[in-house]
Chain A
Amino acid sequence: MDPKPSIVVDNLVKRFGKFVAVNRVSFQIRSGEIFGLLGPNGSGKSTTIRMLCGLLTPTSGSATVVGFDIARQAEEVRRHIGYMSQKFSLYDDLTAVENLEFFGGLYGVTGDALTKGIAWALGMSGLAGNEQALTREFSGGWKQRLALGCAVLHRPRVLFLDEPTAGVDPLSRRQFWDLIHQMSREGITILVTTHYMDEAEYCNRLALIESGRIVEMGTPGEIKRLAIHGNLLLIEAAPLGDALAAVKRAPGVTDASVFGAALHVVVGDQQSERELPAFLAARGIRVDRIEPIAPSLEDAFVSLTGEKPAGDADS
């Protein structure tokens, strides 16, 4: 790994009473890397990011952000990071420019740097021409990009994004990720939490987190290879419930779950794969379609944790 990682997290633990929200989490993030924390709601993603931003004190363990200890040098950390919390916490009774000026003031951005920063943020967010409108009048996508502009106005070395695309339309999400990649190319380290599987694919590296623990870590490709042992088949069959029960008992099948109106089934060997249609037909199940597919992160997640990542019907 990078000799000087931007973020080092070592056995971080956070307890709320008896509830362990984050359980011995460790990872390192290189400079300029986009690192994703992927997991369902309540899995400990936000708690982890809040500890790294100095909003919460860890129960035990340690972490450094750009070399500063999050517990002992919280103010140093805060100077070098940008943070975008879950609800794009802008002041909705301020205009776009007033929000930018306010955050500029908080981070000591002045004069030319402020003027340029504001012009850049307005251009980037597509708000040029609407800079005097109150923030409450903006759509989700505009608010999100304005919040991003506020978070990076002071050119932070690390950017923390907590569920940055929740409640934003697909086109805006796409534009947002283009911006994130651009910032990553400029050397900004980005830690992002999400429960959207498709978004996780945009990350350089991922940690899958469940019930406060990291269950797998690596590039999206690595995670899929690690999680899926064998071939992944898509099966459309009726009745679906009977098909799932039957396929789980079929020889060579290591994993099976429902995805939408179809089944995703992992089969360990070629022989079993060929015999599967006959096996199902013999049990009175009508098979409409059976074909190999490339595994998605969602497949990997389900395979690793046995559950769906979140109630994200809109993803």
Chain B
Amino acid sequence: MNLRRTAAIGRKELIQIRRDPRSLLIAVVLPLIQILLLGYGARLDADHIPVYILDQEGSQNSQALLKGFQASPYFDVVKVARNYPELVRAIDADRCKLGIVIPWDFSERLGDGRPVSVQALLDGTDNNSAQLAEGYATAVVDSYANRIQLDWFSRHGLSQQATVPVSVDYRTWFNEDLESKNFIIPGTVALVMALMGALLSSLTIAREWERGTMEQLIASPVTPLEIMIGKLAPYLIIGLLDAISCAAFAVGWFGVPFRGGLGAFFFTTTLFLIVILGIGYMISVATRSQLGASQYALLVTLMPTAMLSGFAFPIDQMPVAIRVVSYVVYSRYYVSALKRIFLGGAGINDLIPEIIAMAIYAAVIAFFATRAFRKQIE
């Protein structure tokens, strides 16, 4: 490989990116838009869930429970409904996601020490939000019930010590606040790399064919390997710069922790970019058309990264068949590495399985990519 020829190709490619508004958009603007959209938009948390409450009793006790909902950050008590039909209409009209009905005999039953049920009506159209809302509502009611119970015990002269119900004290590691933002944003780096890398690299060879400059390249002494390295090296550098700005955005703007090693971050990102750029390059060689190449490239890079990498949809909740498929999706190893670097504080030594999987992918893709392009015009 002749370094001077490789550098000539790389320099030319950089000048062309700099002068091409579309490439600049893909390289600079798109990654920022992506991380902003995904950071704000793709949150799976449910908070400020709108609630209607029908208080059939209107006692001090029922008001206390109502206040429990009003105090919760997860709920917005939109209205205290006057009757049951109003509550039902509110759910039908999507004015609330949750309706709580406190029965008319609420205090009476509590006073007698009989069990009492509070009815919760849930809008199940968004299954995920409904489950979260159910969980939060149960928590509010439980905490109220605990308080009542303690009151009751103390009023009946029983020592607190003996009566506090045993409860499991959960402690979540790595994402202590269980915020989906922390779960999702590290993975978006993979999405940004896949989109940016696949789009730019898929255009690079096709552009030479479309503009008629390929013949001139083939007639020169430059080798296919020099063309490939010269053309992809600038995109690797741009990709790493994008990765840095995405990470900085994740930490500085969204407050996602970055606890792992920078070395591990760059190493895994480089391996991932080699795979993505290699795929884009091979597609570009095969299609010879910029439009066709970019479509195919998105299909084989962005789609699996978005759907099957575990970036937002946990792999262990997928059906078995899909879970098996996800093992061949190279992005899952990168997404897993990213999450462990950001949240789990992993360094290179902790990521050996991911690195081995990605290195195998990178080696195979590089092997085929170097053989994809032949200096022939047929």
Given contacts A55-B215, A56-B378, A106-B5, contact A78 B220 (CB under 8 A): yes
Number of A-B contacts (CB under 8 A): 86
Number of interface residues of B (CB under 8 A): 29
Interface locus among A86-94, A176-184, A208-216, A249-257? A86-94
Interface locus among B13-21, B68-76, B166-174, B294-302? B13-21
| A85 near B212: Cβ-Cβ < 8 Å | yes
Bitwise, A67-97 to B at CB < 8 A (1) or not (0) is 0000000110011010101110111111000
| A102 near B213: Cβ-Cβ < 8 Å | no
| Nearest 6 interchain pairs by C-beta | A105-B8, A83-B219, A89-B216, A85-B215, A89-B213, A106-B220
Give the nearest-CB partner of B218 in chain A: A55
| B377 near A110: Cβ-Cβ < 8 Å | no
Q: Tell me which of B2, B12, B211, B213 contacts A108 (CB under 8 A).
A: B2
Question: Can you list 15 residue pairs at the A/B interface with Cβ under 8 Å?
Answer: A55-B375, A56-B378, A83-B219, A85-B219, A89-B216, A90-B213, A91-B211, A92-B211, A93-B20, A101-B11, A102-B11, A105-B8, A107-B221, A108-B4, A150-B216
| A89 near B8: Cβ-Cβ < 8 Å | no
Give the nearest-CB partner of B213 in chain A: A89
CA distance A96 to B221 in the complex (A): 21
| B216 near A83: Cβ-Cβ < 8 Å | yes
| B215 near A54: Cβ-Cβ < 8 Å | no
Give the nearest-CB partner of B222 in chain A: A106
CA distance A71 to B211 in the complex (A): 27
Judge whether B7 is part of the interface by a CB distance below 8 angstroms: yes
- Count class of interface residues, chain A: 20 to 34
| A54 near B218: Cβ-Cβ < 8 Å | yes
Closest approach, in angstroms, between the C-beta of B215 and any C-beta of chain A? 4
Give the nearest-CB partner of B216 in chain A: A89
Residues of chain A within 8 A (CB-CB) of B5 are 105-106, 108
Judge whether A103 is part of the interface by a CB distance below 8 angstroms: yes
Judge whether B376 is part of the interface by a CB distance below 8 angstroms: yes
Residues of chain B within 8 A (CB-CB) of A103 are 220
Interface positions of A from 128 to 167, Cβ below 8 Å from B: 134, 150, 160
A residues near B, CB below 8 A? Answer: 50, 53-57, 74-75, 78-79, 81, 83, 85-87, 89-94, 98, 101-108, 110, 134, 150, 160
Residues of chain A within 8 A (CB-CB) of B216 are 83, 85, 89, 150
Q: Tell me which of A83, A105, A150 contacts B7 (CB under 8 A).
A: A105
Residues of chain A within 8 A (CB-CB) of B19 are 93, 134
| B5, B11, B212, B215 interface centre (most CB from chain A within 10 Å) | B215
Residues of chain B within 8 A (CB-CB) of A104 are 8
Residues of chain B within 8 A (CB-CB) of A81 are 219
Q: Tell me which of A75, A87, A108 contacts B212 (CB under 8 A).
A: A87
Give the nearest-CB partner of B226 in chain A: A106
Closest approach, in angstroms, between the C-beta of A137 and any C-beta of chain B? 13
| B5, B12, B378 interface centre (most CB from chain A within 10 Å) | B12
| A53, A106, A160 interface centre (most CB from chain B within 10 Å) | A106
Closest approach, in angstroms, between the C-beta of A161 and any C-beta of chain B? 12
Closest approach, in angstroms, between the C-beta of B5 and any C-beta of chain A? 6
CA distance A53 to B7 in the complex (A): 24
CA distance A160 to B220 in the complex (A): 12
Residues of chain A within 8 A (CB-CB) of B217 are 106
CA distance A79 to B222 in the complex (A): 9
| B376 near A91: Cβ-Cβ < 8 Å | no
Residues of chain A within 8 A (CB-CB) of B214 are 89
Residues of chain A within 8 A (CB-CB) of B16 are 91, 93-94
CA distance A103 to B214 in the complex (A): 13
Give the nearest-CB partner of B18 in chain A: A93
| B12 near A78: Cβ-Cβ < 8 Å | no
Q: Tell me which of A89, A98, A134 contacts B211 (CB under 8 A).
A: A89
**Apart from A55-B218, A91-B16, A101-B11: 9 A-B pairs, beta carbons within 8 A:** A56-B378, A78-B219, A81-B219, A83-B220, A85-B212, A90-B213, A94-B15, A98-B15, A103-B220
Closest approach, in angstroms, between the C-beta of B247 and any C-beta of chain A? 32
Interface positions of B from 216 to 246, Cβ below 8 Å from A: 216-223
CA distance A53 to B375 in the complex (A): 11
Closest approach, in angstroms, between the C-beta of A104 and any C-beta of chain B? 8
Give the nearest-CB partner of A57 in chain B: B376
| A110 near B218: Cβ-Cβ < 8 Å | no
CA distance A134 to B20 in the complex (A): 13
Give the nearest-CB partner of B20 in chain A: A93
Give the nearest-CB partner of A110 in chain B: B4
CA distance A53 to B217 in the complex (A): 11
| A55 near B219: Cβ-Cβ < 8 Å | yes
Closest approach, in angstroms, between the C-beta of B7 and any C-beta of chain A? 7
| A94 near B2: Cβ-Cβ < 8 Å | no
Residues of chain B within 8 A (CB-CB) of A74 are 375
Residues of chain A within 8 A (CB-CB) of B211 are 89, 91-92
Bitwise, B366-378 to A at CB < 8 A (1) or not (0) is 0000000001111
Residues of chain A within 8 A (CB-CB) of B378 are 56-57
